[in-house]
Amino acid sequence: MAVSTGRARSTTRDSADRGRRRAGRDQGPLRRALSRHWYAWAMVAPVMIVVTVLIGWPLLRGVYLSLTDATEANVGRTIGVNVIPASYEFVGLDNYVGILSSGLFWEKLTWTAIWTVSCVVLHYGIGLGLAMLLHRRLRFRSLYRVLLILPWAIPGFVAAFIWRYLFNSDFGVINAMLRAAGLGAVGWLDDPVTAKLAVIAVNVWVGVPFMMVALLGGLQSIPSELYEAAAVDGATPFQRFRHITLPMLRSVSATVVLLGTIWTFNMFPVIFLITRGGPGSETEILVTYAFREAFTGVRNYSGSAAWGVIILALLVVLATVYRRALRRQGEVW
């Protein structure tokens, strides 16, 4: 009798389990995820709502404006007690066609690419060199690390104003040092070539600490036994760097190079606060020109929105191609 009861309970339990599994299959993957991990979704929901409000809605609004002819003259506005309705119209892809068919866009894109590649290469090269130096046993190593991180800790607009003063033609510290050495003053921000070199130098000064810290963390994660074994086998320092350090840093390097590229591509404060895109518009990159379209002269909101969408599309394509290239090399990222 007891055996029969036990078998009946086991049969009932198995039937219930099969019923739950069948119900789970019938629910679909999304409903299964929601029912199984509801607490995780509950924790993520507030963040997703904030991100949607702060990023999703402005992004959709910008895409919509880029398909219109909205300017300062035809957007809706309130003047005193008078409410003027919006009168802009839908124009489709006209803004994009106008931008992509203009020589101005390709000129700004060329300089933005040169600016980005130059800065990221210098960021990575100098950052890796400093990281390897600080990875060694040095006196006052902690002090050196703090001093080298300071440029990263300073807010971008503060650093830009400091360097603008240093590059000042009449009262700048750099020209004062040149005069003290018996050399002539240089109009750093008055000539297109020197202005471009100046903003690249400032951005390198601002961005190297991040690369240094990230790569230093990567170096500290490499097992010292690998270097010891290579030294026993007679490997030179360069061979150890080439065959151990660089391959072991590949995953870290892939991440910081992509982040550095995106940040440098959109580095608004350095360009705008030091040269304001000048002289003329020689140092203006895509993002500063998009800002100028929206907030100077007759404000062209639709044109600025179209520039912003193009910038976003370029970065998405760049990130996608970069990620696929890493996957082909065997990197899971």
The answer, yes or no, to whether residue 157 has pLDDT greater than 60, is yes
Query: Residue 30: its pLDDT value, please?
Result: 67
Query: Residue 150: its pLDDT value, please?
Result: 82
Residue 72 vs residue 120, higher pLDDT: 120
Around 269, how many Cα atoms within 13 Å sit in the side-chain half-sphere?
A: 15
Query: Residue 99: its pLDDT value, please?
Result: 94
Q: Could you tell me which residues come within 8 angstroms of residue 236 by beta carbon, excluding any fewer than 6 positions away?
A: none
Distances in Å between the Cα of 202 and the Cα atoms of 157, 280, 292 are 12, 20, 22
Residue 117 vs residue 45, higher pLDDT: 117
| Tens of pLDDT, residues 23-54 | 445 556 767 767 777 778 788 888 889 888 88
Query: Residue 183: its pLDDT value, please?
Result: 87
Q: Which of 101, 90, 85 is nearest to 65 (CA)?
A: 90
The answer, yes or no, to whether residue 118 has pLDDT greater than 70, is yes
The answer, yes or no, to whether residue 18 has pLDDT greater than 80, is no
Place 291 in a pLDDT band, splitting at 50, 70 and 90. very high
Domains of the chain from N-terminus onward: 2-66 (no CATH), 102-296 (1.10.3720.10)
Measured CA to CA, the distance from residue 207 to residue 201 in angstroms comes to 10
Query: Residue 40: its pLDDT value, please?
Result: 80
Contact 318, 72 (CB under 8 A): no
Place 330 in a pLDDT band, splitting at 50, 70 and 90. low
Place 13 in a pLDDT band, splitting at 50, 70 and 90. low
Measured CA to CA, the distance from residue 206 to residue 210 in angstroms comes to 8
176: helix, coil or strand?
helix
Query: Residue 177: its pLDDT value, please?
Result: 92
- The pTM of this model reads 0.81
| Tens of pLDDT, residues 65-96 | 999 999 888 888 777 777 888 888 999 999 99
| Tens of pLDDT, residues 167-195 | 988 888 999 999 989 888 888 999 999 99
Q: Torsion-angle region of residue 298: left (phi > 0), alpha (psi -120 to 50) or beta?
A: beta
